[in-house]
Chain A
Amino acid sequence: MPIEQIPFPYVRIRGKVIAMPDGARLGTVFAEAGPLTPPNAPTQWNYITRGKSIVTFTSSNVLEWSVAPEDEADFRPLKAAFEQ
């Protein structure tokens, strides 16, 4: 079976296919709520990170947008997808 361990090639944000910024990594968090978890907090989200930059998002919301100035250009297509 052909297996490739490759960087995540793209993400699909709100129906639009966006290439991952070069060298960025995509992760997924499955979280378990407890009494200290805010009501209606998500239990699953994704993040894209590179260097000091991280963008955390669910299907409906951007939870955190922390992009370093040197990464802004590469993350611009991602931002545009979230803003559409």
Chain B
Amino acid sequence: MLAIPLTIIIAIVSAFSFFIEGVRRDALLAADYYPDILIQQQVGGRTESLFFDRYDDVLKDINAIKSYYPRSWGYINHTDSKNRIKSFVVMGLDPEYISSGLFIDVAIEQGRSLREHDYNKAIAGKALAAAFDCTTGDTIEVTSPGLRKPVLIEVVGIFDTAVQIYSADLLLVDRQTANTILGFIDDNESSDIMVYLSNPAMAGMVASNLLKKIDGANPVTKSAMQSLTEQSFGQKSGFFHLLWFILLVNVMIIAWSLTSHISFSLRKEIGILKAIGWDTGDIMILKSFETLTIGFFSIIAGLIGGIAYMFSGAPGIKQMIIGWTDIYPEFPIPLYVNASTVFLIIILGIIPLLAGTLFPIWRIGAIDPDKAIRQ
């Protein structure tokens, strides 16, 4: 009676917990690779593409800046065999930046990385390669929303990184190719500029300097971006906290029902044990072992069920957790089993049950065995 609802509750909560932990961990890992300052261009309060030359003139004269790289990025669509449109990210970077160590650690699993003058060539994240059903040497047709003419891109490598959420659905190309795909006017245009400083602690000062020097510049510091990431996943983790609350409430309800509705068979069992010489304390120890065993195995079964659900693709909850507005990237679920979360699940699952088991025994223990057996 106790094992099944507990297993189901634990399975649901653990599935969400491990998923959100995984997403949060990936997001925070990605945040480590953010540039010290990201410069965007704002026009009329909107973020627009920028012209690199205009910024280059200013950036090269600021001593605190160690290096800076333009970046072009946007979304590409892909229609799968079931006629569903899926969105992926295309990112145009200079090859020297990819190999600089500043970009997220890229492990080429097949083929090679991008080189100088690799126009219309790309390295693809694993989820994107799977969606396009392509491997190295294949040519894929890429369309960006609003761009009428598709661009043919040769996949020269398949890559993987430690940060699934950031890279699995990514098509990495050189900036010129990205500009073509995204419909930018020329090579001088880019989405933003990544700025690296000699001393990252000066980010705030450099950012305000940039604000003064370039009209419409919107410099965002690394700490601001990290805070935004935290907020974004914090919002999702609000949902996660709600689930924890639901777990606690459900276990409390089970415990309460155990406490308030003492079954005849339990009452009789306690009466018989007392009649043959068991003390209330002995019965409480016996029942504690019983509850701990049932509770522990239910929790383990729930945890395994939760993990299995996540491995099966988490139907029903994946989009809710990892989607942004209407763009649902395709990447494997970043599952992360955190020991402290497992510990918390066990504690929150076991303690109310233990209380719910022991309290009625203590109550029945106070009455005569004959009454307990007869009632």
Are A and B a genuine interacting pair, yes or no?
A: no
Q: Which residues of A contact B (CB under 8 A)?
A: none
